[in-house]
Amino acid sequence: MSVLLLRLAGPLQAWGASARFVRRTTEPAPTKSGVIGMLAAAKGLHRDDDTSLARLASLRFGVRIDQPGTRIRDFHTAHHAATGKSMPLSERFYLADAIFVAALEGDRALLDELDSALRTPAHPLFLGRRSCPPSLPVELATHDTSLANALQEEPWQAADWYQRLRHKEHTVALTVLREPGPGEQHAEALRDQPLSFAAAHRRHALRSVVNITVEVPNPLASTARRAPAAARPVPHHDPFDAVTEEAP
């Protein structure tokens, strides 16, 4: 099998799995439904094309949390386009400054199609909501390996400033949420397996998820072992010297 790796990075992301009505929450990591929806948009699929959706949804999915970001809350106001009447005030949650590595395992030919679509998408890509565009190219690479190995071996994708905060650690522990392999025990279930994106009857099913931790090399760890520079002598300075000097 082969694995397509995606980098999901942006100022804001929102991955809702159970958001309803005026409270729109976000999961701490990208949902399978959200990522499959992004791939469908890249390929230009119609919302009612359940056959093509099933082909994408059959891919095994996993995600690694490289930079968890900060959960923030916003209030959203809107007016009805036809009547001008105010809509109910809604509460929306986002992840700020987060970065994830998402992986999809399946047939190489299908993954190559998706990789090509991400490079020249038919529709704009967004990270969960239309107001959340990616700040970096989404596509990373396609490898002939397993889902677990791909999420273990991919270099740490966190921002440089975030990596510098962890420079004293040779490796960093990252959380991985992925679908289990054959015979593998799972810890929880999420209702984000897409069955239909049709506006009239969006449907999702439960899928199993394995929650594990992987150790990834820290590229900035060597900076913590550098010897400190020799301290330069501090020149003498008395701020009162100018006051005590006699005028010529």
- Sequence length of the chain is 248
DSSP, residue by residue, the chain? -EEEEEEEEEEEE---SS-BTTEE---SS--HHHHHHHHHHHHT--TT-HHHHHHHHTSEEEEEEEE--EEEEEEE--B-TTT-PBPPPEEEEEEEEEEEEEEEEE-HHHHHHHHHHHHS-SS---SSSTT---SS-SEEEEESS-HHHHHHHSPP---HHHHHHTTT-SEEEEEEEE---TT----EEEEEEEEE--TT--EEEEEEEEEEEEEEE-TTGGGGGSPPPPPPPPPP--TTHHHHSPP-
CA distances in angstroms from 71 to 30, 33, 96, 127, 201, listed in the order given: 13, 20, 6, 15, 30
Q: What is the pLDDT of residues 202-225, one digit of tens each?
A: 888 999 999 999 999 999 886 544
CA–CA separation, 154 vs 156, rounded Å?
Answer: 7
pLDDT category at 61 given cuts 50, 70, 90 is very high
CA–CA separation, 105 vs 144, rounded Å?
Answer: 9
Our CA angle for 90, 93, 97, nearest 5°, is 145
Is the pLDDT score of 3 beyond 90?
A: yes
Q: What is the pLDDT of residues 175-204, one digit of tens each?
A: 999 999 888 877 788 899 998 888 777 888
CA dihedral sign of residues 3, 110, 131, 86: negative
How many C-beta atoms lie closer than 10 Å to residue 19's C-beta? 17
The alpha carbon of 230 is separated from its chain's Cα centroid by a whole number of angstroms, namely 42
Q: What's phi and psi for 91, nearest 5 deg?
A: -110, 125
pLDDT category at 242 given cuts 50, 70, 90 is low
Q: What is the pLDDT of residues 138-151, one digit of tens each?
A: 999 999 999 999 99
CA–CA separation, 3 vs 145, rounded Å?
Answer: 6
Q: What domains are there in the chain, each with its CATH number?
A: 2-223 (3.30.70.2660)
pLDDT category at 240 given cuts 50, 70, 90 is low
Q: Which residues contact 39 (CB under 8 A, 6 or more apart)?
A: 56, 104, 114, 117, 118
